[in-house]
Structure 1
Amino acid sequence: MALYVYSIAAEDHPRDLDGLTGVGSSPSPLRSVTAGSLSAVVSDVSEEIRPKRRDLLAHQEVQEQLMADGPILPLQFGYIAADDSAVRQVLETNADGYLDALRRLEGCAEYNVRVAQDDEEPLLQQILRDFPEAAELNERIRAGDADPQLPLALGELVAREVEARQQSLSAGLVQALLPFARDHVTHPPTGNDFLNLSLLVPDEQKEDLLTAHTNLSREIGGGIGLRFAGPLPPYSFV
């Protein structure tokens, strides 16, 4: 029977699965498949697993409970293996790399930082104050000048400056946060975000990171939204 694979841990990880429910419409019990010094947490599945809310939550709850007892390598949602033998083969083939990754992740959790321009008006007003050319174009448009090139010129100028300022702010935030992290990954931003940063943070740095978040949120202001999530399973560092 096919297996849904949640995560990989060292064989001596407690793997306390009490109270957890697996994925699927009729979830099978969670269990371990062990090969040498590694174990994978799995459950049997007989159906296609889709990213429904219930299954996404079940997947995440398994990761969080396992992570509380030691380092794990969490798999992204939806990983299916053919059977126990296929899982054991992967564990044996990649044992050295998995063990190295577990050692690197020990005592750490992932924190995700996203930054978005929640309100553009303060930034636009600041650009108009800082750039007389932009202010002049804006006044001509407001006064009724029908030149079709004016909105295009103003739009291009503002867009360039918005991008430059967001890039500068992103670089400054990354520089301010990296001292709290053992590693980091910058992801492509989505939606209104212009920074999507994952940090691998040692437990002893957690409180300092949260303090930095509070201070940075207070400092940047100006319609900028700074969002932290964590501690999370270290998906970005597996």
Structure 2
Amino acid sequence: MTGLRYVYAVCRPFDAPLQSQITGVGGAPPRLLRHRDLIAVVSEVPERDFAEQPLRAHLEDLDWLTETAHAHQNVIDALTVVTTPLPLRLGTVFHDDSGVRVMLEAREEGFLRTLDRLSGRVEWGVKVYAEPEAEEQPREPAKVTSGRDYLRQRRRSRQANEEMWEKADRFARRLHETLAECAEDTRLHAPQNSALSGAPGRNVLNAAYLVPRRNSEEFVEIVDRTKNEEPGLRVELTGPWAAYSFSGEEPGEGKSGGDMDSGDMSSGDMGSGDMSGENS
């Protein structure tokens, strides 16, 4: 086989077949490369696009990056149906099968430990937004007749804004604590910038939850019950995903609730441009 090896994920051997029609990055079908007790899911990609220099250039091309990320995610989604994959970063490339096996050998202990921790579990993402209507304070202000009136209006507006954010913060913290009880681990990601994400409102919670598959229905029901609980606040649920947010080798971060100012992949958010495998 010619070309480079693009690696999507690492998993334990499994018996169920992947979807026959699934295609990966560049249109090539994924295949399974076994090394002892690990499987690397790989496909062949051309050097003209995935050697170090052209890949770095492509990562600056938003259209190319979006297309490649979708193909990468399609393979991860197909794997999630039949096994517990440990996703690798977008753009993890090796010269050949031997390079992939060297990587598996070097990281075998960590991969196996992480796969044991994630087995039978999926990631759910939950976001809370303060809706634009809640931020705009649509009531028409009273007529200003003096400097004192102006200052009074400014103070009232500031107090109303502070109260809105206090309500949003209380709701987000309460929801996170409730969901954390149903999850084995949590991650609080940085709130998304609405100008970049395109989502209306201001993001006040952006969290990921590692949930056993058997508890997923209960988890979803809890989120659904909160969706209309507070006027002006919108709750969004995504998943189930492969456990992107929990694929590091050290578990246990965030079960206590963590810092509410830190927070997609998402769940489901992928890194880009890991060239650690290049020239292996």
Name the TM-score, length of structure 2 as normaliser. 0.70
2:23 aligned residue = 21
The answer to whether the 8 A contact 2:77-2:242 is kept is yes
Pairing of 1:44-123 with structure 2 (within 5 A): 44-46=44-46, 47=49, 48=55, 50=59, 51-121=64-134
Structure 1 gap ranges (5+): 126-137
Deviation at 1:157, TM superposition (A): 3.5
**Equivalence for 2:262:** none
The percentage of aligned residue pairs carrying the same residue is 28
| Aligned 8 A contact 1:76 1:235 in 2 | no
- Partners of 2:167 and 2:105 lie apart in 1 by 49
Runs (5+) with no aligned partner, structure 2: 50-54, 195-201, 248-280
Deviation per CA, 1:185-221: give whole Å up to 9, x if none.
110011221100101111111111121112111322x
1:67 deviates by 1.4
Deviation at 1:86, TM superposition (A): 2.7
Cα contact 2:24–2:72 (8 A) shared by 1: yes
* C-alpha separation in 1, matches of 2:113 and 2:88: 16
Structure with the bigger RCO (C-alpha within 8 Å, sep 6+) is: 2
Matched to 1:44, the amino acid is: E
Residue matched to 1:233: 242
How far, CA to CA, are the matches of 1:107 and 1:101 in structure 2?
12
* Matched letter for residue 189 of structure 1: P
RMSD: 2.7
CA contact (8 A) 1:13 1:70 kept: no
Q: How many residues align?
A: 222
**Structure 2 partner of 1:130:** none
* TM-score of the superposed pair, with normalisation by structure 1: 0.81
Kindly tell me: are residues 105 and 145 of structure 1, through their superposed partners in 2, closer, same or farther at Cα, counting changes over 3 Å? farther
The higher radius of gyration belongs to 1
Contact 2:131–2:233 (Cα < 8 Å) also in 1: yes
CA–CA distance in 2 between the matches of 1:152 and 1:15? 64
Query: CA–CA distance in 1 between the matches of 2:146 and 2:93?
Result: 61
Q: How has the CA–CA distance of structure 1 residues 168 and 82 changed in structure 2, closer, same or farther, with 3 Å as cutoff?
A: farther
